[in-house]
Structure 1
Amino acid sequence: MAMKKKLISLALAATMLGTMLVGCSKPAEEGAGGTQGEKVIKVGMVTDVGGINDQSFNQSAWEGLKRAEKDLGIKAVYRESKQDADYVPNIESLIDEENDLIWGIGYKMAKDLKAQAEAYPDKNFAIIDYDYGKETPKNVLGVTFKAEESSYLVGLIAGKMTKTNKVGFIGGMKGPIIESFEYGFRAGVKEANPNAQVTVQYANSFTDQAKGKAIAKGMYSNGVDIIFHAAGDTGRGLIEAAKEENKYAIGVDRDQNYLAPENVITSAMKRVDNALYDITKQFKEGNFKPGTTVTYGLAEGGVDIAPTTDKHVPKDVLDLVNSYKEKIIKGDIKVPATKEEFDAMMK
């Protein structure tokens, strides 16, 4: 009997000790790179209507976030928008899933993202291609690019390489962002070749490949031999037309040479991927600064021409482009981003 009581006492003591050890221990949390005790940062992005596979703007953003997931150990997700009405439910979905940082990709969702940021002041947001100025919510970071600078450089290339003195520009939808591509391009063309004419047409869509192709075919039939686009997925129609007509095209946002290696002679790259990566890294390290807007230009590595440019562009033209690039970085040249600035430069 005494032995039985002793065994019971030992069992009770072991149970109590186990309970105390569990109570004193801290459960390990999966973290970046498998680090214990470090919270996994969740970052989500909402695409613009071009979609995640637009070979351009949205795809570049997702590539940057996926790179951050690989290098920084964050958890990356996206919600794809097929129409403007999808912005709010997609943002709300990422809020409900308790993402720590939520990205809006594109100026078209500026109003909706701002409303959600104000409704959820404890959440952090960032938006590509929009500056709220004095109305920037305290939990939102705006990110803009000097797209006119890379557009100027590809304009120099188009101006030097055209054989007909006729080049074209296809825009997605009119607005300050796309117009900065247009007027930067116009300025570069005119600087390189004052005799060149620039034909401009807007598709009023970032998703209509058929319309982009039809516009490009029309331009090519009228003697245009090089066309630059800033039209998202619509621009893929231009590239298809360039292949069929054996003409030149200039891509945008990403290096689009792979879509038509013999026809895409350069691309005006806007490093949305770098912006998402850099700012997500800042967020993870506690250096995120909402309530402001940051701008990426040539000097910051936010825009440039494509690395495949030397496949088709002669060395003397590349040397010219590089010399102008240095002038822009030094501030010797202020590239126009609006019609008013362009007109003033031409005078």
Structure 2
Amino acid sequence: MRRVSKIAAACFASAALALTASGCGEASTESTTTESTGAADGKLKIGMAYDVGGRGDNSFNDSAARGLDKAKAELGAETKELTAKHGETPADREARLASLAKGGFNPVVAVGFAYKDTIDKVAPQFPKTSFGLVDSISDAKNVDNIVFTEEQGSYLAGVAAALKSKDGKIGFIGGVDLPLIKKFAAGFEQGVKETNPKASVQIQYLTTGTDLSGFGSPDKGKGAAEGMLDKGVDVIYTAAGGSGAGAIEAVAAKKGSWAIGVDSDQAKDPALKKYASVILTSVVKNVDTGVFELAKSVKDGKPLTGTHTYSLAEDGVSLTTTGDHLKDIQGKLDEAKKKIVDGQIKVNTTT
């Protein structure tokens, strides 16, 4: 079944989100050599290929894992989970996805932009298998592209930052200067400046080009945040995977400063819980919704294909309210959200 976004004319998500800091896994050792639909016995079998960090990263991968857990609980699915390794090759990713398809898992879900080229190559080899690609877009006919309007959630974070900052000095730290991360920066900067035209936003990326270490280097995140704080910045939004933990730690050491998290509710992250009082909010993407909807569509015999942009209107992106730090400005955030949903505010995707 071909599917398109409800707001496709307005929003098109183009790339994907960040890798995270830790954890590793091995490619599957499945020896099966023929494709199976995974439905011969009526049992839904879901294969999940995580990005680096995997289940337990308290961030992007865990959001996908929640969708998998829901499919297990509500659809009775059997599951297999594999995780990317640091420094692996394209052949490693290809082997991981192929092993799941050969093992009869259907759908096979690839979490993160790093799988885009792999999906392009592997999905056509297994036309009876439905693939899910989170945070990037493939033209393969049997792929469900699960993408988000990160810039819209980031715009709201910018509104919050502008309203909470004392002097209008605000910072954004991106893991790598990729198009996807630039969407976060663009939306955030626009939200800040349309709320407080006198405010300034300092934007810094931890690494550039093909160096993806900016997504898994808390020390780099901490150093960048400390540099901003030393210059008077008092609100810092970090979209940098595992590097964000370092930035949050730095903010917590600077009295009167706020951190804004990303991907999952970072105030509830066990590793960051001690810093919850300084985490103003987090911009979350509900990857679990996309994963579950794909799984259900396969079980129903009508597998989703094409691209669905999970938008602010669908609560595909949102701000967390843990700690009630937004309580005093919630009305203004609701107003901004309504204007985005109604089309009165067009959010930038590039700075």
TM over 0.5: yes
Task: Tell me the SS of whatever aligns to 1:53.
Answer: coil
Equivalent pair of 1:130/1:143 in contact (CA under 8 Å): yes
Question: C-alpha distance in 1, partners of 2:184/2:166?
Answer: 23
Question: C-alpha distance in 2, partners of 1:49/1:245?
Answer: 30
Q: Which runs of 4+ in 1 moved over 6 A?
A: none
Instruction: Deviation per CA, 1:5-27: give whole Å up to 9, x if none.
Output: xxxxxxxxxxxxxxxxxxxxxxx
Question: C-alpha distance in 2, partners of 1:336/1:69?
Answer: 38
Structure 1 residue aligned with 2:220: 211
Q: Would you say 1:276 and 2:291 are equivalent positions?
A: yes
Give the C-alpha shift of residue 95 in structure 1: 2.2
Q: Would you say 1:92 and 2:92 are equivalent positions?
A: no
Paired letter, 1:306: T
By relative contact order (CA 8 Å, sep 6+), the higher-ranking structure is: 2
Q: Would you say 1:312 and 2:312 are equivalent positions?
A: no
Paired letter, 1:111: D
Paired letter, 1:148: E
Task: Tell me the SS of whatever aligns to 2:57.
Answer: coil
Distance 1:314 1:307, change over 3 A: closer
Structure 1 residue aligned with 2:173: 170
The match for 1:61 among 64, 73, 86 is: 64
Question: C-alpha distance in 2, partners of 1:221/1:97?
Answer: 54
Question: C-alpha distance in 2, partners of 1:186/1:145?
Answer: 18
How high is the TM-score relative to the length of structure 2? 0.81
List gaps (5 residues or longer) in structure 2: 1-37, 208-213
Give the C-alpha shift of residue 330 in structure 1: 1.3
Question: C-alpha distance in 1, partners of 2:318/2:260?
Answer: 13
Give the C-alpha shift of residue 234 in structure 1: 1.3
Moved more, 223-232 or 280-289: 280-289
List gaps (5 residues or longer) in structure 1: 1-30, 340-347
How big is the alpha-carbon RMSD for the aligned residues of Structure 1 and Structure 2? 1.9
Distance 1:256 1:220, change over 3 A: same
Structure number with bigger Rg: 1
The match for 1:254 among 257, 260, 264 is: 264
Task: Tell me the SS of whatever aligns to 2:171.
Answer: strand
Paired letter, 1:206: F
Structure 1 residue aligned with 2:248: 239
**Percent identity over the alignment?**
38
Greater helix content = 1
Q: How many equivalent pairs are there?
A: 299
The match for 1:296 among 300, 303, 310 is: 310
Equivalent pair of 1:242/1:249 in contact (CA under 8 Å): yes
Equivalent pair of 2:107/2:294 in contact (CA under 8 Å): no
Equivalent pair of 1:49/1:206 in contact (CA under 8 Å): no
Instruction: Deviation per CA, 1:77-102: give whole Å up to 9, x if none.
Output: 21111234242232123223221111
Equivalent pair of 1:155/1:189 in contact (CA under 8 Å): yes
Task: Tell me the SS of whatever aligns to 1:116.
Answer: helix
Task: Tell me the SS of whatever aligns to 2:198.
Answer: coil
Give the C-alpha shift of residue 126 in structure 1: 1.1
Question: C-alpha distance in 2, partners of 1:253/1:302?
Answer: 11
Instruction: Deviation per CA, 1:298-347: give whole Å up to 9, x if none.
Output: 11221111132x611242x21001011111111121111123xxxxxxxx
The match for 1:181 among 180, 184, 190 is: 184
Q: Would you say 1:116 and 2:130 are equivalent positions?
A: no
Question: C-alpha distance in 2, partners of 1:279/1:289?
Answer: 6
Moved more, 277-286 or 186-195: 277-286
Instruction: Deviation per CA, 1:154-209: give whole Å up to 9, x if none.
Output: 10000111013111111112222111111000000001111111111112321111
Question: C-alpha distance in 2, partners of 1:287/1:118?
Answer: 18
Structure 2 residue aligned with 1:220: 229
Question: C-alpha distance in 1, partners of 2:239/2:342?
Answer: 26
Give the C-alpha shift of residue 38 in structure 1: 6.0
How high is the TM-score relative to the length of structure 1? 0.82
Equivalent pair of 2:44/2:75 in contact (CA under 8 Å): no
Question: C-alpha distance in 2, partners of 1:285/1:45?
Answer: 19
